[in-house]
Amino acid sequence: MATQTSIPFIDLQSPWRELEPQIRQAMDRVLGHGQFIMGPEVAELEALLADYAGVSRALTTASGTVSLELALRALDIGPGDEVITVPFTWISTAETIAQVGARPVFVDIDPGTYNIDIALIEAAITPRTKAIMPVSLFGQMPDYDRINAIAAAHGGLPVIEDGAQSFGATRHGRRSGGVTTIGSTSFFPAKPLGCYGDGGAVFTSDPELGMKMEALRNHGGLQRHDHPYIGLNGRFDTLQAAILLAKWPRFAWEVQRRQAVGARYSELLRGYLDEGGRGRTPHIEPGNTHLYAQYTIRMAGRERVQERLKAQGIPTAVYYPKCLHEQPAFRFCGYHRGDFPQAEQAAGEVFSLPMHPDLDEATQDRIIKVFTGC
């Protein structure tokens, strides 16, 4: 029986309460000038994002999914091509590869970080491979230096980072978005930098790719009534850009808080899980900061703990209960259960705890108490 109020899995209310006047003002400005599509706030935000990610060009988009599609299209990836990625991720990663007509080639994950197992990439490369698209899952980047080196050794294959969960994370001081040929992120409300609707961005320091993605985002042209490419409507709303500009001053604090809240979870759970032999807290690779877009642990028989937490009003979630190679949509790829044992085992064992920058210590202590059953 729930004896206390239930805890939100992600708290979108606290930032809103704190920033309400600034957000309303920013939205009012847009309503006043009326440039709802590609208004001045869009370019203003893109300049901030490019500077933050350490690239020459950031382009906002309609979503993280559209971002990945723009990246693939800008690289001319299509029918007959293969793109290497992971089967343990949100559907968008492989969906966009199939969407442009190419074939996702899955590589198993590292069981510690849940990111791509870099040692397995080379064996998956064929003459048809046109790109490598790793995911920075749960808010931690894989070793892009190693991945970029493998790509370079194979004819300069482009690397696309799916950083939908990792905007704000670093590896050896370099930020997610700025370490590959093209970086991509999402501003879906629950992501580390969330707007109040759908949105995303792509990042590059290659001027030609930047120009091409800019054109593709707006029906394949940079000038009105001139369309060199088949593009799409992939633009970000001016209102959403204004909202992110108003939220931006809080973001650095939120990144720090995420790291602190995640580290505290691990400190409090390590004895019960890792040392108690019951499961594993998140593994952070040396040189990385972890944003804990999801604070994800693993335990065989997770359902018992999930039930115990739920009974006390504490929500949990499983990201992801089913690997992409086992989704009916990807049956055409010809994979079977058993092809990616680490991904499959993770799908059966992981679950995530409430996680957001405003999670206070008392609430976290209550979660830990119920979790460990003492």
Ligand X SMILES: *Cc1c(COP(=O)(O)O)cnc(C)c1O
DSSP string for 217-262: HBTT-SBTTB-SS---B-PPBHHHHHHHHHHHHHHHHHHHHHHHHH
Residue from the set 113, 129, 165, 342 that interacts with ligand X by CB under 6 A: 165
Residue from the set 60, 93, 316, 342 that interacts with ligand X by CB under 6 A: 93
196 close to 243: Cβ distance less than 8 angstroms: yes
Cβ neighbour number for residue 329 with a 10 Å cutoff: 11
Q: How far is the CB of 199 from ligand X (least distance, A)?
A: 7
Q: How far is the CB of 104 from ligand X (least distance, A)?
A: 13
Q: How far is the CB of 164 from ligand X (least distance, A)?
A: 3
3-state secondary structure (DSSP) of residue 110: coil
Which residue lies nearer to ligand X by CB, 115 or 364? 115
Residue from the set 92, 170, 204, 352 that interacts with ligand X by CB under 6 A: 92
* Residue among 289, 285, 281 nearest 350 (CA): 281
Residue from the set 198, 237, 254, 344 that interacts with ligand X by CB under 6 A: 198
* Residue among 280, 261, 259 nearest 269 (CA): 280
Q: How far is the CB of 231 from ligand X (least distance, A)?
A: 18
Q: Tell me the C-alpha distance between 38 and 60, whole Å.
A: 10
Give me the phi and psi of 191, to 5 degrees please. -80, 165
Using rule CB under 6 A, residue 164 touches ligand X:
yes
Q: Where does this chain touch ligand X (CB under 6 A) — which range of 27-35, 44-52, 159-167, 243-251?
A: 159-167
Using rule CB under 6 A, residue 204 touches ligand X:
no
Q: How far is the CB of 177 from ligand X (least distance, A)?
A: 13
Say whether the peptide bond before residue 229 is cis (omega within 30 degrees of 0): no
Using rule CB under 6 A, residue 162 touches ligand X:
yes
Residues near ligand X (CB under 6 A): 63-65, 89-90, 92-93, 135, 162, 164-165, 186, 188, 198, 200
